[in-house]
Amino acid sequence: MDLNGIISIAGYPGLYKVVGQSKNGVIVESLIDKKRMPAYSTYKISALNDISIFTTDEDLPLSDVIKKIADKESKGAIALDSKATFDEVKNYLLSVLPNLDQERVHFSDMKKLITWYNMLQKNDLLKEKAAENTDAESKDEALKIKNATDAAIKPKAKPVEISAKPKSTGSKAKSTSTIRKTGA
């Protein structure tokens, strides 16, 4: 499951695909309505590759959980409706992931996981890529997206301009080309 370039932005609904880099962050495209917008470095951006789910054994990466849901749904069907009741969502996720840590994974997180899966499925982003042909291409693309995401998360320092010539501060500052006489 390749989730490179898919991000979540706190305060904005849905998921976004990184399509480019700008001066102050990255350019993202919404998976909901395909509109593009800038995501500035001050936004709280989370890459789906960096997210994991609490289990009783150890944390499981989100890509593995989504793959398990896709396997359960025969890699083509939409999962449970995200507006389902607490018991329906909980039972569904327990059938997919039996060792889910029910104390640390909140209901809102479960609903968000189902919503994200459905959104990725609707946009055909859950298909496995051919590992042999596009391995080098996917590594290059992943590196570009990682660099763009890192640039959005870590603000860059502005370069300081150093000038050899002092700047004048007004009309009184003028240069003299003659030698001054001293009173001795």
Amino acid found at 152? A
Q: Looking at domain 1-49, which of 2.80.10.50, 3.40.50.2300, 2.30.30.730, 3.40.50.80 is its CATH number?
A: 2.30.30.730
pLDDT by residue for the chain (184 residues), tens only, comes to 678 889 999 999 999 999 999 888 999 999 999 999 999 989 999 999 999 999 998 899 999 999 998 888 876 677 787 678 889 989 999 999 999 998 999 999 999 999 999 898 888 887 765 443 455 566 666 666 666 656 555 555 555 555 555 555 555 555 556 666 676 5
Class of the CATH-defined domain 51-129: mainly alpha
Task: Give the pTM.
Answer: 0.67
The reported pLDDT for the residue numbered 125 is: 84
Listed by start position, the domains of the chain span: 1-49, 51-129
- List Cα–Cα distances, 55 to 18, 103, 111, 128, in angstroms: 29, 10, 17, 25
In the block, tokens 């300081």 appear at 160
The reported pLDDT for the residue numbered 178 is: 64
Q: How far apart are CA 139 and CA 82, in angstroms?
A: 33
- List Cα–Cα distances, 16 to 3, 84, 101, 122, 158, in angstroms: 11, 24, 27, 13, 28
The reported pLDDT for the residue numbered 26 is: 93
